[in-house]
Amino acid sequence: MTLKRPICPNRIRKVPGQFSWIDHRLVRDRYIEKCSHQAAALYLFLVTVSDAKGLSFYSDVSLMRRLVMDRATLQQARVNLIQVDLIAYVRPLYQVLDLGRRTPTLRKSPQGQPRSLGQILRQIREDEP
């Protein structure tokens, strides 16, 4: 039996507060907008089949058959998910990564003027999950 160890032990996913394995931050923090349809399908599959630490072993052949993808499309989808920082992959092990804390993007004031420290801190608190 192959021993499964997390590729990124500091990024083991946890069930989000809204009780769903698919974290709302996937949409709220716009990760999904950076994924191709094929990458999103692969991500959904990996989230569904992975264990509590986000780990799964699925061969390329199995993934291609189940997701109806050719090898090049699967490889592109995997690279896309790695680039977006949603998965880690060391053949043959996939790890669905915890989304972690998002770095807030600071918006300009309505007038485009510099903002006070208080305004910046309020926005950061609003952006926190």
Same-domain check for residues 65 and 88 = yes
> Would you say 12 and 53 are in contact if contact means Cβ atoms under 8 Å apart?
yes
Same-domain check for residues 89 and 34 = yes
Whether pTM > 0.95 for this model: the answer is no
57 domain-assigned? yes
Same-domain check for residues 124 and 83 = no
C-alpha of 48 from chain center: 13
128 domain-assigned? yes
* Local confidence pLDDT in tens for the 129 residues of the chain: 678 889 999 988 776 565 456 788 899 899 999 999 999 999 999 998 888 888 999 999 999 999 999 999 999 999 999 999 999 999 999 999 998 765 444 444 455 555 556 666 666 666 555
> Would you say 63 and 42 are in contact if contact means Cβ atoms under 8 Å apart?
yes
Nearest to 37 by CA among 97, 77, 65: 77
119 domain-assigned? yes
Same-domain check for residues 114 and 81 = no
1 domain-assigned? no
Q: Can you tell me the distance from the alpha carbon of 50 to that of 124, in angstroms, rounded to the nearest whole number?
A: 32
Same-domain check for residues 94 and 45 = yes
Structural domain boundaries, residue 110: 104-129
